[in-house]
């Protein structure tokens, strides 16, 4: 349909206007009644279909893998690689565009970006997708408004005020620059101006600042673009710009803050945490750490790197807080651990605090109780929500001597129920963030020893991968954990099976890595996972983490944020998500085989 065909819908958005015309001219529209086989399993196709309305089922034998809706296309494998992996059947009355194979092949030859959509390999597709996104994201940071940036306060002094007054005012305002009022004109004076006047020119600290101030002040409005500020600074060689809202000065923008916004200020934050001298300092740093996630994501930093940066900052924060609150005895003979997703370094947006304490010896009860309360309380104040399962230092079950943990391991093995499996899973992902790491290492070595050869237990443990079905519908008739419209639970259906399956494998083989992607790499090195499969699994996992993070950022005001709304994904993302779910499914089959779960 020449006019109504939506060329903005990926991957067609990568075509030039001329190529779009070529494509439109060759389109037909096909109607399918309910239950018609459109592309058979392992057959080739002579057209690429793009759904106009209706629903298509993607099937593998008897299994329903996905539901396709408007703007989704199928099936690149049948078209380009000559064999569809799956069958495509109309679920209801459905209208599709049919793009002839010859047209697609011709466009693939002409347009490499368009071609990347048809790659067989998910990792290649994803690489291309990420590259495209990076371009968009860099742009979006430059299009941000100045009002989104951190600014120094706009504090005024009079031109007749002395250098001494100015110095005190700077300290009080915690700013390195002040605005100077001199009758009608407004200027700026910086700490460096003061120092130079006193040190180099030997002026009296009683001299008025009028002679040191610069009155060639550069101003911008708060709704101007960040890029404008950056250009002005470079062009005029200014380090500071005064920001106005109407007639009023609301702040001073420094080049370091602009660069910090563009580059993220993770390095600066690390230093701030190390130097923090009070809980208030730490709280401020914690708040900024949380804000970093958005900045880093906006820069197009890969989600696994964001995870690493954030968990590093959190680790410093925990460690610093531990130093502040823990009695000296705990610090030398105790080990503070973070567990679950924080332990794996995969928690970017704070969802809960999973932490615990391992002590070498039993210790003074009252002292321990007071520490438990203070530590968990401080973290809650810092914006780490308490763990609903009470896996926290404040819970005596998770802050106790090593010997009691070792006893727990034996209980878990002897009484394998859902709770012991959950506890094992959480603990096995633990990472030491402060104190003596040897304690955690000992505990884990013991845990691995206890479980060595316990195949039946491990199989039971691994079975949890089938707890939640992989969500198959991608727009309307899909499976949701909560009745939340067309939302899709990425965590339960996609991320959890990978995390848990991988965890089961490394537990069986006694490996001590905690991050899922590093675990996959180790399993590959040991030959347990095939090279190609390990790469695909890692890519699929990262892609799902990225979608989850984007969902969380979009919903950052509230709710759990693991629910992704397929209708808000581009059809390209939906296509990649389908591929990722296929890989999750393959991985589940692998785990089932490996642990012989069919026997249950």
Partner 1 sequence: MIPRAIKRLFHQASIGDQSYRFMFERGAADEVVAIDCETTGLNVRTAEIISIAAIKIRGNRILTSERFEEVVRPDAGMQADTIKVHRLRRADVAQGHPIWKLLPRFLHFVGGRPLVGYYVDFDIAMLDKFILPFLEIELPNPRIEVSQLYYERKYGDAPQNTSIDLSFVSILKDLDIPPLGQHDAFNDALMTAMMYVALRDKKVRGSRIPRLRTHTVFDPTGG
Which residues sit at the interface with partner 1, rule CB under 8 A?
1-4, 25-34, 52-54, 93, 95, 98, 100
The C-alpha atoms of residue 451 and residue 272 are separated, in whole angstroms, by 42
Phi and psi, residue 90, nearest 5°? -75, 135
> Which of residues 99 and 229 has its CB atom nearest to partner 1 in the complex?
99
- Locate tokens 């693991």: which residue? 562
Neighbouring CB atoms inside 10 A of 586's CB total 14
The C-alpha atoms of residue 58 and residue 41 are separated, in whole angstroms, by 10
> Which of residues 26 and 560 has its CB atom nearest to partner 1 in the complex?
26
Tokens matching residue 295: 């900045």
What's 494's DSSP letter? I
CB of 571 to partner 1, least distance (A): 16
The C-alpha atoms of residue 376 and residue 353 are separated, in whole angstroms, by 8
CA dihedral angle for residue 155, residue 156, residue 159, residue 162, rounded to 10 degrees: -50
Q: Which residues, other chains included, contact 241 with Cβ-Cβ below 8 Å and sequence gap of 6+? A: 218, 219, 220, 229, 232, 233, 252, 253
> Which of residues 34 and 112 has its CB atom nearest to partner 1 in the complex?
34
> Which of residues 50 and 507 has its CB atom nearest to partner 1 in the complex?
50
Residue 5: left if φ>0, alpha if ψ -120 to 50, beta else—which one? beta
> Which of residues 98 and 207 has its CB atom nearest to partner 1 in the complex?
98
The C-alpha atoms of residue 468 and residue 489 are separated, in whole angstroms, by 10
Angstrom distances, CA of residue 75 to CA of 47, 68, 100, 481:
9, 11, 12, 29
Nearest to 441 by CA among 526, 510, 508: 510
> Which of residues 161 and 486 has its CB atom nearest to partner 1 in the complex?
486
The C-alpha atoms of residue 154 and residue 247 are separated, in whole angstroms, by 13
Contact, 90 vs 34, CB < 8 A? yes
Contact, 345 vs 308, CB < 8 A? yes
H-run or E-run covering 422:
helix 418-428
> Which of residues 107 and 180 has its CB atom nearest to partner 1 in the complex?
107
> Which of residues 15 and 276 has its CB atom nearest to partner 1 in the complex?
15
> Which of residues 35 and 135 has its CB atom nearest to partner 1 in the complex?
35
């Amino acid at each position: 349909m020449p006019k109504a065909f939506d060329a903005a819908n990926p991957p067609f958005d990568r075509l030039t206007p001329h190529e779009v015309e070529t494509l439109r001219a060759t389109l037909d529209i096909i109607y399918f009644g309910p239950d018609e086989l459109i592309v058979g399993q392992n057959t080739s196709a002579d057209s690429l279909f793009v759904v106009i309305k209706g629903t298509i089922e993607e099937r593998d034998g008897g299994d329903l893998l996905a539901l396709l809706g408007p703007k989704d296309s199928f099936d690149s494998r049948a078209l380009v690689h000559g064999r569809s992996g799956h069958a495509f059947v109309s679920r209801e009355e459905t209208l599709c565009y049919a793009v002839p194979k010859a047209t697609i092949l011709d466009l693939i030859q002409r347009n490499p970006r368009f071609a990347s959509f048809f790659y067989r390999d998910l990792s290649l597709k994803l690489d291309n997708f990420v590259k495209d996104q990076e371009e968009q994201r860099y742009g979006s940071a430059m299009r941000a408004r100045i009002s989104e940036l951190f600014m120094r306060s706009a504090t005024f002094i009079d031109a007749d005020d002395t250098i001494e007054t100015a110095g005190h005012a700077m300290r009080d305002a915690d700013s390195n620059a002040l605005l100077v009022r001199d009758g009608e004109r407004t200027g700026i004076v910086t700490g460096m101006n003061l120092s130079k006047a006193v040190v180099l020119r030997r002026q009296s600290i009683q001299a008025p600042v009028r002679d040191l101030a610069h009155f060639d002040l550069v101003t911008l409005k708060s709704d101007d673009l960040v890029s404008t500020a950056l250009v002005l600074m470079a062009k005029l060689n200014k380090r500071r710009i005064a920001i106005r809202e109407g007639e009023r000065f609301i702040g001073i923008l420094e080049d370091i803050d602009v660069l910090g916004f563009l580059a993220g200020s993770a390095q600066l934050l690390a230093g701030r945490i190390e130097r923090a001298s009070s809980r208030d300092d730490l709280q401020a740093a914690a708040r900024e750490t949380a804000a970093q996630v958005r900045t880093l994501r906006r820069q197009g930093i890969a989600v696994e790197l964001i995870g690493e940066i954030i968990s590093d900052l959190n680790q410093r924060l925990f460690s610093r807080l531990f130093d502040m609150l823990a009695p000296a005895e705990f610090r030398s003979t105790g080990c503070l651990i973070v567990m679950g997703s924080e332990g794996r370094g995969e928690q970017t947006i704070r969802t809960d605090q999973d932490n615990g304490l391992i002590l070498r010896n039993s210790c003074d009860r009252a002292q321990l109780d007071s520490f438990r309360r203070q530590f968990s309380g401080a973290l809650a104040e810092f914006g780490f929500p308490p763990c609903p399962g009470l896996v926290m230092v404040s819970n005596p079950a998770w802050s106790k001597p090593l010997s009691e943990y070792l006893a727990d391991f034996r209980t878990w093995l002897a009484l394998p129920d859902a709770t012991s499996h959950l506890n094992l899973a959480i603990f096995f992902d633990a990472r030491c963030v402060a104190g003596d790491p040897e304690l955690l290492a000992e505990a884990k070595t013991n845990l691995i020893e206890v479980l060595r050869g316990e195949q039946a237990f491990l199989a039971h443990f691994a079975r949890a991968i089938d707890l939640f079905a992989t969500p198959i519908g991608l727009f309307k008739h899909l499976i949701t954990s909560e009745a939340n419209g067309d939302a899709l639970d990425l965590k339960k259906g996609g991320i959890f099976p990978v995390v848990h399956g991988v965890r089961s494998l490394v537990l069986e083989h006694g490996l001590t890595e905690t991050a899922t992607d590093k675990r996959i790499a180790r399993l590959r090195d040991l030959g347990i996972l095939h090279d190609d499969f390990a790469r695909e699994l890692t890519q699929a996992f990262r892609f799902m983490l990225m979608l989850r993070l984007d969902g969380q950022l979009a919903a950052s005001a509230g709710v759990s944020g693991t629910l992704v709304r397929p209708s808000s994904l581009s059809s390209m993302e939906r296509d990649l998500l389908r591929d990722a779910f296929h890989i999750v499914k393959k991985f589940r089959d692998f785990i089932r085989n490996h642990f012989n779960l069919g026997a249950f």
